[in-house]
């Protein structure tokens, strides 16, 4: 749920798009992997073949009554993902795939530090009609500017380009204003033992996750909380003859500067 909250922060920066992403259900079992994941080799440690998995995932969604009811089916895996380098991004979610049998997406996530947020945002943006940035775009929507859809894995910036957001807005408001699909208010899945839908920084605090140790076991967080540059300083000391230094982006939602919050390493003024 907190991952979806982080994804919401990435939309609506230039257009009046106010998306609320609601978790209606989740499953975690080896059976799902066996049924829907396709690896690049027979070895269980092999990367996921994105294009083949998306094809299979679409079939899984159609064959399961509960999954079929969901507006979008996202498969999150801790395995690495191999995506095609073709310009059409066949290893990513289908553009404008929302409310169709193609409404599936795939992302890698470690299950602790919200590492898959950027990839999930890419998949949902494509499904919701956002367009990819290319070098043939208008000057403020170029691939080289690093917006979210400048890369199939997510760009260097957290937000969509103006062109991508305009395309999403027009698709949702004019081309596909379907009241029974993305624009309805589904019943949220029961919380059970899950943490409520809050920003990742709150989840990480409650769960006492040290994002530095999660990546480098000998590192501890040196700087966190209210910060100015939206980076967490993990360690800058020597381990034997090796000098360790790691400064990942602060968790989304971390307070920064004057009433701002961190989003993918950038301090952003809060939107109300």
φ, ψ of residue 235 to 5 degrees: the values are: -160, 145
Q: pLDDT band at 138, cuts 50/70/90?
A: confident
Q: How far apart are the first and last CA of the chain?
A: 20
- pLDDT tens per residue, range 251-266: 999 998 888 999 999 9
CATH of region 2-175: 3.40.390.10
User: Which of 22, 14, 15 minimizes the C-alpha distance to 183?
Assistant: 22
Beta strands in 79-158 (DSSP E): 81-82, 104-108
The reported pLDDT for the residue numbered 182 is: 74
In angstroms, the CA 240 to CA 229 distance is 29
- CA dist., res. 159 & res. 149, Å (int): 9
Q: What is the CA radius of gyration of the chain?
A: 19
Q: Which residues contact 176 (CB under 8 A, 6 or more apart)?
A: 96, 98, 99, 129, 182
Q: What is the pLDDT of residue 215?
A: 76
Has residue 167 got a pLDDT over 80? yes
- Per the prediction, the chain carries an average pLDDT of 85
Model confidence pLDDT, tens digit, residues 184-220: 777 888 765 555 678 999 999 888 888 888 777 777 6
> What is the pTM (predicted TM-score) of this model?
0.89
Q: Residue 247's pLDDT is what? A: 79
**Residue 74, number of CB atoms within 10 A of its CB:** 24
Which is more confident, 73 or 66? 73
Delimiting residues of CATH 3.40.390.10 domain(s) in the chain: 2-175
Give the number of other CB atoms < 10 A from CB of residue 206: 12
Give me the mean pLDDT over the 232-245 stretch: 64
8 φ/ψ angles, rounded to the nearest 5 degrees: -55, -35
Confidence of residue 221 (pLDDT cuts 50, 70, 90): low
């Amino acid at each position: 749920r907190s991952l979806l909250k982080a994804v919401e922060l990435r939309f609506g920066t230039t257009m009046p798009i106010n998306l609320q992403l609601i978790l209606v259900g989740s499953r975690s079992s080896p059976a799902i992997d066996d049924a829907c994941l396709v690896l690049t080799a027979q070895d269980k440690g092999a990367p996921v073949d994105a294009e083949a998995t998306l094809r299979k995932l679409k079939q899984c969604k159609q064959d399961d009554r509960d999954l079929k009811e969901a507006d979008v089916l996202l498969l999150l895996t801790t395995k690495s993902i191999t995506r095609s380098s073709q310009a059409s991004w066949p290893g990513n979610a289908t553009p404008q795939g929302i409310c169709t049998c193609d409404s599936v997406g795939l992302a890698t996530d470690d299950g602790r530090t919200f590492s898959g947020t950027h990839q999930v945002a890419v998949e949902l943006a494509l499904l919701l009609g956002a367009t990819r940035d290319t070098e043939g775009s208008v000057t403020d929507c170029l691939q080289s500017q690093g917006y979210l859809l400048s890369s199939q894995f997510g760009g260097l910036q957290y937000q969509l380009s103006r062109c991508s957001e305009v395309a999403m807005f027009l698709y949702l408001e004019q081309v596909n204003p379907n009241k029974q699909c993305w624009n309805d208010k589904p019943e949220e899945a029961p919380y059970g033992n899950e943490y409520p839908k809050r920003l990742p920084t709150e989840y990480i605090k409650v769960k006492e996750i040290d994002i530095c140790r999660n990546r480098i076991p000998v590192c501890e967080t040196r700087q966190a909380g209210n910060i100015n540059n939206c980076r967490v300083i993990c360690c800058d000391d020597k381990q034997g003859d090796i000098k360790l230094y790691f400064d990942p982006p602060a968790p989304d939602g971390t307070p920064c500067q004057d009433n701002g919050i961190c989003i993918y390493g950038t301090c952003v003024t809060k939107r109300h």
